[in-house]
Amino acid sequence: MRRAALGLYTYFEFFVMAVLFVLPMGLVALFSRKDPGMRVRGRWMRRFGRTTSALTPLWKFRVEGQKPAGIERESFVVVANHQSTADPFLLSSLPWDMRWISKEELFKLPLIGWLMRFGGDIPLRRGERSSVEKMFDECRRTLAAGVSVMIFPEGTRSPDGKLQPFKDGAFQLAIETQRPVVPLAVYGTRACRPKGSLWFGSATAVVRVLEPVSTAGLTLEELPKLKEQVRERIAAAVDALEREAHAPAGEFVTSS
């Protein structure tokens, strides 16, 4: 009964926050149309994510690791594993500016879709070449403006929490623009809201920021190696986070 009540409260709270944010974010989008990196618009979207997350008692989020040196001035291609629709809310706590690539269907939703457009997210219609090319062009403009780009290289949420194969797009972008890749390891968000579920669950979730991977001098021929290197780092970090989460209280866990 308590869980059901908290779930209903969370739905209501998210709706109220979306209503409260939509007007100021719309005005910010209107008056910052000439900003190619959409830095201010993105900050408002992250503020929405942090606020809604903080107001639900179901979720406890934290960030671990050091932010990449120079990310306030230079752009990076940021990638993370994808466990849940709660991932963007967790990642909203990261202390740097980013634009996000999201599937186009989400932009058609009332309120949340409007917020995503106002926040400067980049739509992608999967499987359509013209949409992919448009997305890449927008990402290049964003990176050139000094703002990082956030991509889930699995392409969709994992149905069982296990890390899926990575797609090429993020790594192609990083190599072509010679931007470093910042891997993020997400753990615990699947309990917030698993794929296919309409209900909110109680969870403690964490994102661990890993060391950037340089792409200096790399060519597209080395894309598979880069992709696998980043995936292995994220997989190892997710495994470490899982061990730490299940370790008995007081037990010291080493990361491999």
Q: What is the pLDDT of residues 140-152, one digit of tens each?
A: 999 999 999 999 9
What SS3 string covers 77-143?
A: EEEECCCCCCHHHHHCCCCCCEEEEEEHHHHHCCCHHHHHHHCCCEEECCCCHHHHHHHHHHHHHHH
Position 162 confidence tier, pLDDT thresholds 50, 70, 90: confident
Tokens representing 250 are 């007081």
Q: What is the pLDDT of residues 48-74, one digit of tens each?
A: 999 999 999 999 999 999 999 999 999
What gap in Å lies between CA 116 and CA 33, rounded to an integer? 15
Mean pLDDT of 225-237: 97
Residues 134 and 207: their CA atoms lie apart, in Å, by 29
Q: At what angle do helices 39-55 and 2-31 cross, to 10 degrees?
A: 160
Domain spans of the chain, in order of start: 2-246
Identify the pLDDT of residue 255: 46
Average pLDDT along the chain: 91
* Cα separation, 230 vs 182, whole angstroms: 9
Question: Quick one: pLDDT at residue 251?
Answer: 53
- Give the confidence band of 252 by pLDDT, cuts at 50, 70, 90: very low
Per-residue pLDDT at 220 exceeds 70 = yes
pLDDT at 246: 78
| Between 8 and 78, residue with greater pLDDT | 78
**Does the structure show a pLDDT above 80 at 161?**
no
Judged by average pLDDT, the poorest of 142-151, 226-235, 239-248 is 239-248
What average pLDDT score do residues 136-141 get?
96
Give the separation between CA 131 and CA 195, rounded to whole angstroms: 25
Q: Please state the rounded mean pLDDT for residues 206-227.
A: 97
CATH of segment(s) 2-246: 3.40.1130
Predicted pLDDT at 249 = 56
Q: Is the pTM of this model over 0.85?
A: yes
Residue 38's Cα: distance from chain center in Å?
16
In this prediction, residue 203 carries a pLDDT of 85
Q: Above 50 in pLDDT, residue 171?
A: yes
Average pLDDT value for residue range 119-142? 93
Dist. CA 75–CA 77, nearest whole Å = 7
